[in-house]
Structure 1
Amino acid sequence: AKDAEAMRKYLIEALGYLDGNIITLPDPTSGDLNRVFGTASRPDGQLYNLVSAKPGRCDVFVYYAGHGAPSVREKRGYLVPIDASPDYIEQNGYPLDLFYSNLSKVLAKDLIVVLDACFTGEAPDTSGRVRTLVRDASPVPVASVTEDVPANSLVMTAAKSNQLACWYRDKRHSLFTYWLLRGLKGEADLDRDGRIVVGELDEYVRQNVPPLARLLYNRDQTPEIRGAAGKELLRIR
């Protein structure tokens, strides 16, 4: 919840998003995800309808911080709503490929997706201990980026498909979100030209997240950013 609130504050204060245009789901249920992002048969969810008022003129920023889980049978990734059972993730999870597919139907000018989650079937808690979401099963890494990713999108993920997304206990944030926000607030302007491009943000989080994950937990965590390296994200005010 703290990560989501910090991101919401950043969107309003730094990027100029209107508070009324931000959809916040602190502990989303299956129904919440279906309502906002749509279903397989009805992709026109709340986000779709909000953007449709100004087609092709809206920048859309989607931030998800929570659990992901794999389908052991399908090798398919799912977002895990608060009311979902990982043992029945195919029935009550939100498929990652559907998430991207429905986002591709949103008539946005630009789309940024941030996934602070991992999809191995394991989840570290705030103390760093790891628990298995899927009972009596070995971790099953699945890709956090699928072929359904929209062409006009920038996708940032907290870790590679076989890695955990770690918690930064001292800062009470996830490790990835903490450094992502610091970068977006100006530290990722590596050449000091007053703007941050995708390649700079990618380099910045890679400089900071992996060493700290190794130091704190003796784990590998390498964030991945998929998008044109030279694309400008923002200008520093």
Structure 2
Amino acid sequence: MRLLIVTISICVMLLFGGMARAERILVEQTSAIFSFAFSPDGRQVLTGSTDNAARLWDATTGAEIQRFSGHGGAVSSVALSPDERQVLTGGYDAIARLWDAATGAEVQRFTKHEGDVNSVAFSPDGRRVLTGSADSTARLWDAATGAEVRRFIGHEFGVTSVAFSPDGRQVLTGGNDDTARLWDAATGAEVRHFTGHGGFVLSVAFSPDGRQVLTGSDDDTARLWDAETGAEVRRFSGHRDWVRSVAFSPGGRQVLTGGEDGTTRLWDAETGEEVRRFTGHGNLVTSVAFSPDGRQIATAFYGQGVKARLVLFDLPPDLLPEPPRPQRANVLGIVIGNSSYEHAPDVDFALRDAQAYAHVFEQTLGIAPENLFLFENANSLDMQRLFGTQASPQGRLYRLAKLYDEIYIAYSGHGVPLLSQDGLAEGYLLPVDMAPEEPAFGGYALSHLIAQLEALPVERVTVFLDTCFSGLSAAGPLQPANVSASFGVAVASPKTSAQVSVLAATAFDQPHYAHWDVANQHGVFTWHVLDGLRGAADLDQDGTLLLSELHDYVGDRVYRDVLRREDREQTPSLRSGADPVLVSDLP
């Protein structure tokens, strides 16, 4: 008889630049690590191993803090509760277990699965436990009682990975039926599924804002999806074998993937470009993660002939997350995205535009989240309540404005013209329930909007309009040809004293329509406005971005982009009561 002994080990490493450099080896062990997780404060690391145990380590000293033993099979998945007091493990014994992090005692057992537990997660409030199993189900449990609360049924084969949305209202699962699925956590109903992978979906994750879904598959790709529509947003191609694990950076700007080709790769979430590739891990990467502060990257991998190690590496300066901007408590943000129209073609990417504006308003302009209001698919009554009417001019915005000095407004959706008696056209923002042929009945006139904004008790208002007032759209005319295409729109310039500034996607006096960037799934105008606000428009690099600088930057790039792609013209316009500073501390 011949006895073949194969030693398989796993190494958990944090990576620096393009090559792995050990700064600190925290632990060495002989058993493979299938899963690991950082504690919310980043001071501890939890690992699950093939020796049927989970271990909690001090991330600074490498000391073993606690061991959790009791599973009758390998520990496949681990998680730490938000308050760091409890540890959750899933095992190849078809059981998930809850442990006291301080004592190592088993607190609760979840035992109804009929197959291996492949993945576990805590709800954001720590009161619920989510498990995914080879029995093709995901299940929600009460952490305190161990009772099964809900079952998510729909996958045709095993559930490989589970995750909660950041707000805890939705559940995400990946399965061996080549799909990822989104569920309502309260009802168990399937909300959406994401199809397109050519193989098992092995890993799933939510973006930090919950608006996107990330998946990794044995088709050698990772993919980014719109959580609202189910559309594939971006594909990360480059791995030469299965993508075992995926993760978002804490800020959502980067994506991390680990594959069976032995590489860990860092990607730009916005462009899909590979930023760094890390090799030398061994034969197979099983798990990847960012540290909670985004300053480190971790990966677990199999290797032959070496012990399993936990090694920490810092990210280089060019990959560090941007420090959060100081919040401007005196600034209000209003964002409207009108996409789903009852009497007009949908505006495909308007909601993505609105969500992106909200993100940049918070992250770049420093508007506090509690001072940021996002309206999706606003109808006529919504618009009137927000901005007021001629009969009742003091709408919700007026009442809010008393608490602020400055307001930013962004709108993405349809705009249409209405011919006036003097032969000029009045521009209207189109609520989702109004017909484009009769904007006077329920549309919101641009001139009235500006008048309402001028009356607000604030120092200045800056408006971004990703719309046009030609009555044209990518899907064709919104109005009869004699209305929409024969003239442009005239709008009075804002009063200089009011400091109301409007940067719009098209010229007010030209019958152009606002184009879409299908590749990036944004309006062309919005895409460049957001890029400019993040700093690209600061061409003199003085760290201060003026509205006029943003207009020059956006105007040039939108015009060139649309001319190159569509052989048409689109010229953004600026009506400004001043030249306000938008950002004063760009890096």
Report if TM-score (shorter chain) is over 0.5: yes
Shift of 1:146: 2.4
C-alpha deviations, 1:188-214, integer Å up to 9, x for none?
Answer: 111111111223212211221101100
Shift of 1:110: 1.7
Q: Could you list the runs of 5+ residues in structure 2 that have no partner in the other structure?
A: 1-350
Per the normalisation by structure 2, the TM-score is 0.37
Equivalent residue for 2:409, pick from 62, 85, 99:
62
Q: Do the aligned residues in 2 keep the contact of 1:197 with 1:229 (CA within 8 Å)?
A: no
C-alpha deviations, 1:47-82, integer Å up to 9, x for none?
Answer: 110112x3xx42100111111111134521111100
Residue in structure 2 matched with residue 132 of structure 1 by the alignment: 477
User: Structure 2 CA distance, aligned partners of 1:165 and 1:5?
Assistant: 18
Residue in structure 2 matched with residue 7 of structure 1 by the alignment: 357
C-alpha deviations, 1:61-108, integer Å up to 9, x for none?
Answer: 011111111113452111110000112211121111111111111111
C-alpha deviations, 1:12-42, integer Å up to 9, x for none?
Answer: 1112212222222110100000000000111
Q: Do the aligned residues in 1 keep the contact of 2:505 with 2:571 (CA within 8 Å)?
A: yes
Residue in structure 2 matched with residue 220 of structure 1 by the alignment: 569
Q: Could you list the runs of 5+ residues in structure 1 that have no partner in the other structure?
A: 125-129
Structure 2 matches for 1:136-175, cutoff 5 A? 136-138=481-483, 139=485, 140-143=487-490, 145-147=491-493, 151-161=498-508, 162=510, 163-175=512-524
Answer with 168-177 or 225-234: which moved more: 225-234
The 3-state SS of whatever aligns with 2:541 is coil
The 3-state SS of whatever aligns with 2:451 is helix
Give the aligned residue type for 1:165: A
Q: Do the aligned residues in 1 keep the contact of 2:500 with 2:577 (CA within 8 Å)?
A: no
1:208 to 1:233, Cα distance in 2 relative to 1, 3 A: same
Equivalent residue for 1:21, pick from 371, 381, 393:
371
Question: Which protein has the bigger strand share?
Answer: 2
Structure 2 matches for 1:34-183, cutoff 5 A? 34-52=384-402, 54=403, 57-74=404-421, 75-124=425-474, 130-138=475-483, 139=485, 140-143=487-490, 145-147=491-493, 151-161=498-508, 162=510, 163-183=512-532
Say yes or no: does 1:211 pair with 2:556: no
1:229 to 1:214, Cα distance in 2 relative to 1, 3 A: farther
Question: Which protein has the bigger helix share?
Answer: 1
Which of structures 1 and 2 has the bigger CA Rg?
A: 2
Q: Do the aligned residues in 2 keep the contact of 1:69 with 1:120 (CA within 8 Å)?
A: yes
The 3-state SS of whatever aligns with 2:552 is helix
C-alpha deviations, 1:203-233, integer Å up to 9, x for none?
Answer: 2112211011001111111112233785422
Give the aligned residue type for 1:188: A
Count of residues in Structure 1 that have an aligned counterpart in Structure 2: 228
* Greater length-normalized contact order (CA 8 Å, ≥ 6 residues apart): 1
Q: Do the aligned residues in 2 keep the contact of 1:123 with 1:131 (CA within 8 Å)?
A: yes
Q: Do the aligned residues in 1 keep the contact of 2:365 with 2:582 (CA within 8 Å)?
A: no
Q: Do the aligned residues in 2 keep the contact of 1:121 with 1:141 (CA within 8 Å)?
A: no
1:228 to 1:80, Cα distance in 2 relative to 1, 3 A: closer
Answer with 196-205 or 209-218: which moved more: 196-205
Q: CA RMSD in A?
A: 1.8
User: Structure 1 CA distance, aligned partners of 2:447 and 2:575?
Assistant: 16
Q: Do the aligned residues in 2 keep the contact of 1:63 with 1:115 (CA within 8 Å)?
A: yes
Give the aligned residue type for 1:207: D
The 3-state SS of whatever aligns with 1:61 is strand
User: Structure 1 CA distance, aligned partners of 2:499 and 2:578?
Assistant: 13
Q: Do the aligned residues in 1 keep the contact of 2:499 with 2:578 (CA within 8 Å)?
A: no
Answer with 69-78 or 206-215: which moved more: 69-78
Residue in structure 1 matched with residue 382 of structure 2 by the alignment: 32
C-alpha deviations, 1:86-136, integer Å up to 9, x for none?
Answer: 122111211111111111111112210111110011112xxxxx4111135
Identity %: 32
The 3-state SS of whatever aligns with 1:189 is coil
User: Structure 2 CA distance, aligned partners of 1:94 and 1:230?
Assistant: 26
The 3-state SS of whatever aligns with 2:392 is coil
User: Structure 1 CA distance, aligned partners of 2:367 and 2:454?
Assistant: 21
1:71 to 1:15, Cα distance in 2 relative to 1, 3 A: same
